[in-house]
Amino acid sequence: MLNHVIQVWVLITGIIRVPRLSTAILRGRAYTFWDDFYVFFGGVNVHFPGNVTGNTVELGLTNKTGSGFRSKYPYLYGQLSMKVKLVGGNSAGTVTSFYVRSTYKNWCELDFEFLGNVSGQPYILQTNVFTLGQGHREQRIFLWFDPTADFHEYGILWNQKLVLFLVDNRVVRVFHNAKDLGVPYLEYQPMYIYTSIWNGDSWATRGGRVKTDWNQQPFVASYTGFNVSNACAVKNVVGPRFINTYNCYRKLYRSPYGQGPNLQLSQSQIADLRWIQKGFLVYDYCTDVNRFPGKVYPECVRNWP
């Protein structure tokens, strides 16, 4: 991510939908936050509203601290999803995030970052991909709905062939396995799940020209509906080492997320990506010749249909 503030995650009950990936619908066990996550920082700004504690988690940001959660275990391949309701009103300068990240020196990472806005202006969703520590693969899109009015689902499907970024079951980005082109892929490194809210006003809104208005604090984002029941948790951790990742490879080739038709884009997913590119794309590292003069990212020829 552009700014690695200590970050976090949450969860809840849910149905894992195979988002336009197959016709199967997978039902997982009912979750609460305490099953798989813990408060990672800023506990004073973390709240659990509602009658069932742990079904919804509110993360707050003040001028003293942000807040966040992290998963107890890392995951190697699968489907990961959550529902988020973003900060309403003037959220300029704030960054609300959901990402997965490994802990190695040359790490792998997949990011959702929601960049705050001045009231009445649309949120921007920034996604990014790091493979073996190589990043700078930002894409930004406008969302086609008001993400502050209600919860919307954000998810990742990750298998041996591709990574899909999904918003309400619609594919907004794909990162293909392009090892044959010399591009490292996200494999072998289990990744922890994080979420957070933090102050990114040095860059998040109009390149840092619009700062956080602390008169609006606390800034609160809500999380619910998280599900990892169709992903492989690596629970045997010894220091920085992960034991028995073989079980995740075995599950990969036996689970829907690791088999066809989920190993390539469907026609509806290709239509999704073309729709995003035509109507909602704000920034794409693949076409930024000013930032990367003379540099060619080989995977770009595959990642837009």
- Name the active-site residue from 58, 109, 138, 299: 109
Catalytic residue check, 299: no
Considering the four listed CATH numbers 3.40.50.300, 2.60.40.2550, 1.10.287.610, 2.60.120.200, the one that applies to the domain covering 33-303 is 2.60.120.200
- Nearest CA to 110 out of 183, 166, 41, 169 is that of 166
- Name the active-site residue from 58, 113, 138, 153: 113
98 has pLDDT over 70? yes
The predicted structure's pLDDT at residue 11: 31
Four-residue CA torsion sign, 120, 85, 79, 77: positive
Under DSSP, is residue 69 helix (H, G, I), strand (E, B) or coil?
A: strand
H runs (alpha helix) in the chain: 33-36, 246-252, 267-279, 300-303
Selected residue with higher pLDDT from 217 and 12: 217
- On average, the pLDDT of the chain sits at 88
Catalytic residue check, 58: no
Least confident of 10-14, 143-147, 212-216: 10-14
12 has pLDDT over 80? no
In whole angstroms, give the CA distance from residue 222 to residue 84: 6
Q: What is the pLDDT of residues 28-87, one digit of tens each?
A: 444 678 888 999 999 999 999 988 888 999 999 999 999 999 999 999 999 999 999 999
In whole angstroms, give the CA distance from residue 249 to residue 255: 10
14 has pLDDT over 60? no
Phi, psi torsion values for 54, nearest 5 degrees: 100, -5
Instruction: Please name the residues in contact with 6: beta carbons below 8 A apart, sequence gap of 6 or more.
Output: 40, 41, 68, 196
In whole angstroms, give the CA distance from residue 244 to residue 256: 21
pLDDT-based confidence at residue 6 (cuts at 50, 70, 90): very low
Ranges of each domain in the chain: 33-303
Q: What is the pLDDT of residues 116-134, one digit of tens each?
A: 999 988 999 999 999 999 9
Helices (H) and strands (E) in the chain, counts: 4, 19
The predicted structure's pLDDT at residue 120: 86
